């Protein structure tokens, strides 16, 4: 569980490529995520071309670090797999893709790398720009993007536990 406590959003990277075997293990971690109804509606796009990473950095005001990242992984939902005839079940893919994204972030730590989760969906401007640039078919939506690489410096450590936000049995009841 150390990766959970060591993971930080890393936005500054060394200009060093990430080895293909590390990228594959990161992707494998994404595929191991839990999925509602075992639909596994994800598809991943790995981006490592400098021109494409620079284009990503301009698609969102929060994506500037992509220009210096070694790679980026886009977690996309395949709506043919993620949506259901039952309208009440059409949004579960959001949880599926979130779990896959977090799994990859934790594997990034295990690989000695750094990464940062960038929200793409539901911002329609980002979704459209990404889809057009990378040729996504209409049934694929980019959900999240992870910029990754070798960190330029050691990520800071901190304890985020907040006992005031923990309740036992009923709201407002704290541990004695």
- Domain extents in the chain: 2-165
pLDDT at 152: 96
- pLDDT for position 156: 78
**Structure confidence by residue, pLDDT tens digits, 127-158:** 999 999 999 999 999 999 999 999 999 877 78
Q: Which residue has 């009440």 as its token pair?
A: 88
Question: 14 - beta bridge partners?
Answer: none
pLDDT tens, 66-94?
999 999 999 999 999 876 666 665 689 99
pTM: 0.92
Q: Is the peptide bond before 121 cis (omega within 30 degrees of 0)?
A: no
To the question of domain 2-165 being in CATH 3.40.109.10, the answer is yes
SS3 label, residue 43: strand
Inter-CA distances, 125 with 23, 82, 128, 137, 164, Å: 28, 22, 5, 16, 38
Looking up tokens 């750094």 gives 114
User: Are 166 and 174 in contact, with CB atoms under 8 Å apart?
Assistant: yes
Sheet holding 114-119, edge to edge: 42-47, 71-78, 140-149, 114-119
Please tell me the distance from the alpha carbon of residue 128 to that of residue 5, in angstroms, as a whole number.
35
Nearest CA to 148 out of 31, 43, 56 is that of 56
């Amino acid at each position: 569980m150390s990766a959970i406590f060591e993971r930080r959003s890393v936005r500054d990277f060394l200009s060093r490529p990430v080895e293909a075997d590390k990228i594959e293990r990161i992707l494998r971690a994404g595929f191991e995520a839990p999925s509602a109804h075992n639909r596994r509606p994800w598809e991943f796009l790995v981006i490592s071309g400098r021109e494409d990473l620079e284009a990503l950095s301009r698609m969102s005001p929060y994506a500037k670090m992509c220009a210096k990242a070694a790679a980026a992984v886009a977690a996309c939902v395949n709506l043919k797999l993620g949506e259901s005839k039952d309208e009440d079940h059409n949004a579960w893919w959001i949880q599926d893709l979130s779990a896959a994204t977090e799994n990859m972030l934790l594997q990034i730590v295990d690989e000695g790398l750094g990464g940062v989760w960038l929200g793409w969906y539901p911002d329609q401007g980002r979704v459209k720009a990404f889809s057009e640039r990378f040729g996504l078919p209409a049934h694929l939506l980019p959900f999240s993007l992870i910029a990754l690489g070798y960190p330029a410096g050691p990520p800071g450590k901190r304890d985020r536990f907040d006992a005031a936000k923990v309740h036992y049995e009923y709201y407002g009841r704290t541990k004695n």
